[in-house]
Structure 1
Amino acid sequence: MLDLIIKNGKIVDGTGNPWLAGDVGIQQGAIVAVGQLSQEAHRTIDAHGQVIAPGFIDGHCHSDLMILDYPNSEIKLQQGVTTEVVGNCGLAPAPFFPETASLLQTYVEPILGKTSWEWPWNTVEQYMQTVAKASISENIATYVAHGALRIAVMGFANRPATREELDRMKGLLEEGLRAGAIGFSIGLLYAPGSYTSREEIAELCSVLPQYNGLFSTHIRGEGNNLIPSIKEVIWIAEKTGVSLHISHLKAAGKANWGKILEALELVEEARGRGMDVTVDVYPYNAGSTMLTTVLPPWVLEGGIECTLDAFRDPQMRRRVREELGSEQKDWDNLVYSTGWSSVIISSVQTAANRHLEGKHIEEISELRGQHPVDCVMDLLIEEGGKISIVYFHMSDTDVKEVIRYEKSLIASDSLHCETGKPHPRLYGSFPRIFAKYVREEKTLSLEQAVRKMTSFPVQRFKLGKRGLIVPGYIADIVVFDPDTISDTATYQDPRQYPTGISQVIVNGEITLANGQHTQARPGAFIPAQHQCCNH
């Protein structure tokens, strides 16, 4: 007798092939039979009129600490997500050493969130062990993050690494890869990643090939510097022979809309030369990050605390105002092209400023009677540098082009946000693809959309036997109504679960039943699997 049968569904198996009518049998956490099944089971789910698909993989998110703070993972399970990949954009909570602990925590808190408990790890491996021992409702895999490595070894020093520092970073990277990390991520837009030359990155990437590790990058510039930034990471990957994944590909700033086609051509040209290059995309025309990202990169030398102290210097403030008020060649000054009205405060730390959440910088500066740049610096001082933002700087047409692109996979890039108004992608990314880009705009077929969320990311991130409805594969499964699945989260009211998803199964256990969390926590840490079936 089987543990569970899901009957009478439209099986979209993750390959991209047309759906087929049938049942799925599950035993001891694995799919054991697919087709018209006559076996009996302890439990039966009738999926009449619904799709049976592999559980969705969120291949780019920032739930590194959220998974430990909120182990039920209901925000993601309600979207049909059964596995998240963390450690993205060079941002991670490990390695975490006492001498640089405060630097790392203030660096990652606007993205990963602030915990009320002491981090019990030092190394990346110990972080993995902490997740593995936790009782969680979904699966987790991770990168080794460059920003955390560099901070551990050299803080926020704006200079090239010495040979000794490079060797220490390479050693820490190798330790993480050996322990099961899927690869190496870097955020070249963010200090200290922005302080790192392509040659230094290539030296670090030289560790990856022996572990078949993936090089994942938030590129240096997504606005005026989009094209040279893509060329830079392709150069690094080509020089070192590593596989390259470009995170949340976009063309930011109205002057750059349309350049996404040239960006995709660069990816195709690289693939034509035999390089393994892919991208991911989220289905919104606004991004989300930390407010410090809009500042000139040099401002963050020495870390957040040094920056906040420097903001009290009138000469420093004058220089920041001047640079943000003009176009820059060495870094993307996106607020110059998009304006301060495109930068929305999504989360602050203090109750005194909570009323500013949901307002844009131009509006806040008018309320305060300040220049927008002075307003930004003062807000950062008041909030200890820990302010998250939503940033409207993309074209819907460009977003659609990347979603349509065959070598793109879907991810949320969601940030942990306890207070305020998080970007709605935290609650709605995956259902939105089906509602907007499958049903409404017909950018993708149902089967193409499922592939971009399942077998493609599993293959890309080396997650083993997941992502397909095939006998012998792990039973991570979502059941949803293709006619009603939809996001309901909005920018003004983002904390809303989607509709149309009825059942979610993780490692063979029902974690969401009829839209309600069952309190089951069958999730696991997934170490990189270097052998992945190619269907």
Structure 2
Amino acid sequence: MFEHKFINARIMDGTGAPWFRGEVATVDGRIAEVGRSITGQAREIVDVGGRVLAPGFIDVHTHDDLAVLRDATHAPKLLQGVTSVVLGNCGFGGSPSSPARRDDLVRYAAPVLGPMPGPGAWDAFGDYLDALSGAPSSVNAVSQVAHGAVRIAVMGFENRPATPAEIERMCALVREAMEAGAIGLSFGLLYAPGCYADRRELVAVAATAARAGGMLNCHIRTEGDTLLDSLTEVMDIAEAAGAPLHVSHLKVVGKRNWGTIGRALDLIAGRRARGLDVTCDIYTYTAGSSTLLSVLPPWVSAGGAKEVLARLADPAARERIRRDMEGNLPGWDNFAGMLGWDRVVISGVDTEANRSLEGRNIEAIASERGQHPVDCMLDILLEENGRVTMILHQMSDEDVKSVLRSDFAMVGSDGIPLETGKVHPRHYGTFPRMIAHYVRQERIMPVEEAVRKMTAISALRFGLAERGLIAKGAFADLIVFDDGKIEDIATFEDPRRYPVGLDRIYVNGKLAAEEGKPSAERAGRLIRHRCACCGPQTSLACN
């Protein structure tokens, strides 16, 4: 007796092969049979009615580390057809931490991850994974350990190379995280404190993860004028560490750099030909999103929160910031200089007093306030204690298409799950937009290939064993959608709108959503990485 039998389906199995008309049967949360016609009874017959039956989408780049705990429904991702999420990206994470530096970690991570727990919470990375395991979500989750959190736990926001003893302490934290079940290590080299780390430190911590069978996932140092240098840096680090490498949200920023993404893709392809295991992801929009502090030169973020806020208020420091932003500091992406202040949009603030600024660009706000844009930005940061997020309109759609077409690219949303503000619409629409915009409208690839880039290759890359495919024995993470109607409807003006065209979503064989409404099921699982001899599992890590 099958639990479900899906009939009259156009099956896109995740491999990229042409769809075929057939049936799929499930038992105990797994796919029991796949074929043109399946004999045997089922408790529930699901007539797909000629629509697509595909593996659930896998969001390889999220900042949902705390969002899946705040709201187990996790509707912004689930209702896109996402059945699994990868956590711990860009060096941001809620663990590990040290009691003395918990406040620093909160300042670092809260603008991206949302409200953070207080002192004593998840000092060990295993504690965080236990929290995920003990509070099942509607989606599956796998997590990386964040280098930013590790460095803060050991040395806070000090702008200097780590000592050998400090590097060993960081390696110990990474090792403990891998033993607890982390899938790998993520760098955020654009952000403080990651940007303060030298090659010796970065190779050491990456090698620690690699020896435990983990991968290295990098938000590279710059994505504009010196993109190729930053790509070369992380590929060299990965080679030295013996680590598989994944490059987060590969792109080129700034109109003067548009069209050069082909050189970056060629650089990656060349390293792959030499034997480096390197892949990338990209979101399906031309605008990015981050913290407003990342617009500032890296030296501004050194030290604790009090030091940063003091600099923002100090006339001499403000003048230095203005000079740096009007000049060209080597090794730093000057977003405002490359894009213009009209392309830097406030998306989220911490106080009600400035809520009216959300959705407006710095140029317009500065004009209204009668200020220079730099002074305006610094004042807003001061008023909000540094907790401001932004949207940057920074990329070319042709460049996005080039990355999406590449053999080694997959899709990630990179959404910031804020509960207030004008969040980036990618948090609600990335995966439907892949099909609606890039398949139906732009016709850059067949829909089957788009599905592959959102399922099978993502599962293989991030250790989601037996997921991402419609195949006998695989977990029954399944979605039913109309490939002629699936569409993102979230906009920058009205971002919290759920997509249309998705009929049913199943996670581990349980109906998680139907017709745009989540069910009461919370069938998602925490997937812990295990040591190289055991492989990924859905239960406890190795003892």
The separation in 1 between residues aligned to 2:17 and 2:312, in whole angstroms, is 57
1:37 maps to what in 2? 38
Task: Give the Cα–Cα distance (whole angstroms) in 1 for the partners of residues 281 and 346 of structure 2.
Answer: 25
Structure 2 residue matching 1:127: 3-state secondary structure = helix
Paired residue type of 2:353: A
User: Deviations along 1:307-355, whole A, 9 cap, x unmatched?
Assistant: 1112221101100011111222231112112111100000101111000
The Cα offsets for residues 475-533 of structure 1, whole Å up to 9 and x where unpaired, read as: 11111001000000011111100000011100110011232211110111111265479
- How does 1:182-197 map onto structure 2 within 5 Å? 182-197=183-198
The residue number in structure 1 matching 2:27 is 27
The residue number in structure 2 matching 1:368 is 369
Contact 1:424/1:491, CA 8 A, preserved across alignment = yes
Structure 1 SS opposite 2:364: helix
Give yes or no for the alignment of 1:11 onto 2:11.
yes
The aligned residue for residue 427 of structure 1 is 428
Q: 2:416 aligns to what?
A: 415
2:201 is aligned with 1:200 = yes
Equivalent residues of 1:463, 1:528 under 8 A apart: no
TM-score, with structure 1 as normaliser: 0.98
1:37-436 aligned within 5 A: 37-115=38-116, 120-436=121-437
Partner secondary structure for residue 207 of structure 1: helix
> Retained in 1: the 8 A contact 2:358–2:422?
yes
Give, in angstroms, the shift of residue 121 of structure 1.
1.7
Shift of 1:39: 1.7
Tell me how far apart the structure 2 counterparts of residues 257 and 452 of structure 1 sit (CA, whole Å): 24
Contact 1:341 1:363 in 2 (8 A): yes
Secondary structure, aligned partner of 1:84: strand
Q: 1:23 Cα shift?
A: 1.0
Tell me how large the CA RMSD over aligned residues is: 1.3
Question: Could you say what secondary structure the match of 2:13 adopts?
Answer: coil
Distance (Å, rounded) in 1 between the aligned partners of 2:65 and 2:154: 21
Report the CA distance shift for 1:119/1:424 in structure 2 as closer, same or farther (over 3 A): farther
Task: Kindly provide the amino acid, as one letter, of the partner of residue 494 in structure 1.
Answer: P
Once the two structures are TM-superposed, the CA of residue 6 in structure 1 deviates from its matched residue by 1.4
CA distance in 2, matches of 1:213, 1:198: 19
2:536 and 2:154 mapped to 1: Cα distance?
A: 34
- 2:208 counterpart SS class: coil
- In the alignment, the residues of structure 1 paired with residue 119 and residue 438 of structure 2 have an alpha-carbon distance, to the nearest angstrom, of 42
Contact 1:461/1:528, CA 8 A, preserved across alignment = no
1:12 CA drift (Å): 0.5
Counterpart residue identity of residue 229, structure 1: S
Equivalent position amino acid for 2:42 in 1? A
CA distance in 2 between counterparts of 1:209 and 1:301 reads 29
**Whole-angstrom distance in 2 between the partners of 1:337 and 1:509:** 48
- Mapped to 1, the partners of 2:69 and 2:500 lie a distance apart of 26
**Unpaired segments of 5 or more residues in structure 1?**
none
Measure how far apart 1:42 and its partner are: 1.1
User: How far apart, in 2, do the equivalents of 1:118 and 1:34 lie?
Assistant: 50
Please give the alpha-carbon distance, in whole angstroms, between the structure 1 residues aligned to 2:536 and 2:321: 49
Asked if 2 retains the 8 angstrom alpha-carbon contact of 1:459 and 1:532, the reply is no
Please say if residues 99 and 120 of structure 2, whose CA atoms lie closer than 8 Å, have aligned partners that are also in contact.
no
Q: How far off is 1:304 after superposition?
A: 3.0
Distance (Å, rounded) in 1 between the aligned partners of 2:141 and 2:501: 24
Secondary structure (helix, strand or coil) at the match of 1:467 reads: coil
Answer whether contact 2:102 2:119 (CA < 8 A) is retained: no
CA distance in 2, matches of 1:136, 1:32: 24
Q: Following the alignment from structure 1 to structure 2, what is the Cα–Cα distance between the partners of residues 8 and 441?
A: 28
Mapped to 1, the partners of 2:211 and 2:312 lie a distance apart of 45
Q: CA deviation at 1:5?
A: 1.1
- The aligned runs of 1:473-484 (5 Å cut-off) are 473-484=474-485
SS of 1:23 mapped into structure 2: strand
The alpha carbon displacement at 1:272 in A equals 0.7
TM (norm. structure 2) is 0.96
Give 1:261 deviation, angstroms. 0.5
- Are the equivalent residues in 1 in contact too, given 2:106–2:116 (CA < 8 A)? no
Aligned length: 533
| Secondary structure of 1:208's aligned partner | helix
Q: CA deviation at 1:117?
A: 7.2
AA matched with 1:327: N
Residues 346 and 360, structure 2, Cα contact 8 Å, conserved in 1: yes
Whether contact under 8 Å (2:91, 2:187) holds in the other structure is: yes
Secondary structure at the counterpart of residue 22 of structure 1 = strand
Q: Distance in 2 between matches of 1:228 and 1:330?
A: 9
Cα distance, 1:135 vs structure 2:
2.8
Question: Which moved further from structure 2: 113-122 or 152-161?
Answer: 113-122
Deviation of residue 119 (structure 1)?
6.9
Answer yes or no: is the 8 Å Cα contact 1:504–1:512 preserved in 2: yes
Contact 1:61 1:413 in 2 (8 A): yes
Distance 2:480 2:95 in 1: 35
For 2:110 and 2:254, locate their aligned partners in 1 and report how far apart those are by CA, in whole Å.
Answer: 26
Taking the aligned partners of 2:520 and 2:306, their CA distance within structure 1 comes to 40
Kept in 2, the 8 Å contact 1:183–1:213? The answer is: yes
Q: 2:504 corresponds to which letter in structure 1? A: Q
Alignment partners' CA distance in 2, 1:311 and 1:289 = 19
The percentage of counterpart residues that share the same residue type is: 46
Aligned 8 A contact 2:348 2:388 in 1: yes
**Partner Cα separation in structure 1 for residue 443 and residue 240 of structure 2:** 39
CA contact (8 A) 2:346 2:358 kept: yes
Deviation of 1:101 after TM superposition, in Å, equals 0.6
Select between 237-246 and 286-295 the one with higher mean Cα deviation.
237-246
Distance 1:224 1:303, change over 3 A: farther
Relative to structure 1, the CA distance from residue 532 to residue 155 in structure 2 (aligned partners, 3 Å threshold; closer, same or farther) is closer
What's the secondary structure of 1:89's corresponding residue? coil
Q: Deviations over 1:281-311 (max 9, x none)?
A: 0010000000000000000000333111122
In 1, Cα distance between the equivalents of 2:306 and 2:49?
57
Bigger Cα displacement from structure 2, 205-214 vs 276-285: 205-214
Q: Quick check: 1:219–1:233 contact (8 Å CA) kept in 2?
A: yes
User: Unpaired segments of 5 or more residues in structure 2?
Assistant: 538-543
Residue 11 of structure 1: CA displacement? 0.6
